[in-house]
């Protein structure tokens, strides 16, 4: 697998999965443009500051990107300890807004969304997730959520579910209409700076129960390679999937 000659845009590039994906992509020959609200701690070819919760800020950032890109990795996100409105904006609406804005520049390219194994129950709320996915823009998405409020305590899981459904539904049309492949990866626990927030979010009892069924949390450099595989030409016939990268957690649900 090689990324020689490809230009990738990676959100959340300042830390965690986004930073490790950016580092590996450059090692594999890609030109990497990082996007984040925080300054990066790794070497990038370019960096664009952006607040993924604000559509106008996303539009300003898009104007700074090149006319042609080969891949977009949506790795930016906040934990469920953040206010539900912020989780909705960053983990779903802002991600969607950025992706749609870049469609004209991505012909023949790839999009990879970082979802979560916590989104595994998306079939149980498929109708709601479909309805949200059909809203036309950031503002109408906010309007739908105002009319269909999401509980704070499960908002992280909810928007990861919604992201998986949008990846599948929109991914099909992007491939058919624009030759763009859009997929998701669904990690389990990962050793990143916000892992402690997930322990707080889920509760120590749930985390202890889950820990008995897994070998250990992942390292970010174990999640980055599958992401970049989906960005590469080796995955040219893969679209609309959510790939578990979780050390076997998904298998427990069968």
DSSP 115: -
Query: Using CA atoms, how far apart are residues 192 and 170, in angstroms rounded to an integer?
Result: 29
Q: Is the Cβ–Cβ distance between 121 and 161 less than 8 Å?
A: yes
The residues with which 33 forms a beta bridge, in sequence order, are 9, 46
List of residues 6+ apart from 64 with CB closer than 8 A? 48
Query: Using CA atoms, how far apart are residues 216 and 125, in angstroms rounded to an integer?
Result: 29
3-class secondary structure, 34? strand
Phi, psi of 111 (to 5 degrees): -125, 135
The residues with which 73 forms a beta bridge, in sequence order, are 10, 112
Q: Is the Cβ–Cβ distance between 72 and 112 less than 8 Å?
A: yes
Longest dimension (CA), the chain: 49
Q: State the catalytic residues.
A: 156
């Amino acid at each position: 697998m090689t990324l020689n000659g490809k230009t990738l845009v990676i959100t959340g590039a300042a830390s965690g999965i986004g930073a490790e994906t950016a580092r590996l992509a450059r090692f594999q020959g890609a030109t990497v443009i990082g996007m984040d609200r925080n300054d990066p701690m790794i070497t990038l070819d370019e960096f664009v500051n952006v607040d993924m919760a604000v559509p106008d800020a996303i539009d300003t950032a898009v104007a700074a990107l090149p006319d042609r890109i080969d891949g977009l990795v949506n790795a930016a996100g906040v934990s469920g300890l953040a206010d539900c409105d912020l989780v909705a904006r960053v983990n779903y609406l802002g991600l969607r807004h950025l992706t749609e804005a870049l469609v004209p520049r991505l012909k023949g390219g790839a999009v990879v969304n970082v979802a979560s194994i916590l989104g595994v129950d998306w079939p149980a709320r498929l109708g709601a997730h479909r309805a949200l996915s059909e809203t036309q823009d950031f503002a109408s998405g906010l309007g739908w959520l105002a009319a269909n409020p999401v509980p704070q305590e499960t908002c992280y899981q909810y928007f990861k579910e919604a992201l998986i459904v949008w990846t599948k539904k929109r991914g099909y049309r992007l491939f058919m209409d624009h030759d763009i492949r859009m997929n998701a990866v669904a990690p389990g626990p990962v050793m990143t700076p916000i892992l402690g927030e997930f322990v707080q979010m889920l509760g120590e009892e749930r985390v202890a129960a889950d820990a008995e069924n897994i070998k250990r949390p992942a390292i970010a450099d174990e999640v980055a390679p599958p992401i970049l595989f989906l960005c590469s030409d080796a995955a040219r016939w893969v679209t609309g999937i959510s790939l578990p990268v979780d050390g076997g957690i998904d298998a427990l649900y069968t």
